[in-house]
Amino acid sequence: MGLEILTDDSLLPFRHGFFTRLGGASSGIYHGLNCGFGSDDQANCVTINRARVADALLLAPENLLSVHQIHSADVLHVTGPLDKPLPQADAMVTATPGLAISALSADCQPVLFADPDAKVIGAAHAGSKGALGGVLQATIDAMETLGATRENISAVIGPCISQRAYEVGEEFAEDFIQEDPGNSRFFANGLEGKYQFDLPGFGLHTLRSAGVKQARWVGHCTYSDPTRFYSWRRACHNNEGDYGRLIASIRI
């Protein structure tokens, strides 16, 4: 089975993709295209999977870049392959041709950014903590330091957990509402005092409030489609012990 790559016209002309788990070399609970060295999957399988992604993007595997994600608002400006241990951050920006910058995810939002006029791109990993902490705004700011303008930036949120699958507690909701009472719009009442959080809705609101040209979500829920997507929350509910990581990448 070949790779399945979700794309969005608003990110053109840059080669990019939100890769599903289809078409990979991993097996067991990681079955498919697990691209996360942070998982307990066999390293050689992850290496093969990432090489397949790099090939789809028409570049060498060492130029498919990702960072050690920590749910922060830290953004890294990259100009070449990264040394190990990988730097800690949750977003990257570049204006260097021949590099693909990536976000790994398994329910969190992978967000790809593009300014075709300035030839500047960005990639961010935005879970609830990172999104609330400002990683999306920080990525836009970092792109502007390379010559991009937010009025020309398109941002696309890839597959992530949807509101119907994202049950959270009262304290979680309070953190968002204390930041901005208007954030209550992203919470719906759930069962037994719980709430359902609209992560992509919050991401879209954040991006649009930041003034980007356009912001979109691809509309796929990672939790609800185990054939195509990894999900940390689903893995927890199934007592699987670990989970694979999806990759979203964009290159100049």
Alpha helices (H) along 21-163: 43-56, 128-133, 135-145
Q: What is the pLDDT of residues 33-92, one digit of tens each?
A: 999 999 999 999 999 999 999 999 999 999 999 999 999 999 999 999 999 999 999 999
pTM for the complete prediction?
Answer: 0.97
CB burial class (10 A; 0-12, 13-18, 19+) of residue 72?
middle
Query: What angle, rounded to 10 degrees, do the helices at 199-209 and 135-145 form?
Result: 40
> Whole-angstrom Cα distance, residue 182 to residue 178?
9
CATH 3.10.450.350 is held by the domain 5-162+217-251: no
> pLDDT tier at 250 (50, 70, 90 boundaries)?
very high
Sorted by where each begins, the domain ranges of the chain are 5-162+217-251
Q: What is the pLDDT of residues 144-189, one digit of tens each?
A: 999 999 999 999 999 999 999 999 999 999 999 999 999 999 999 9
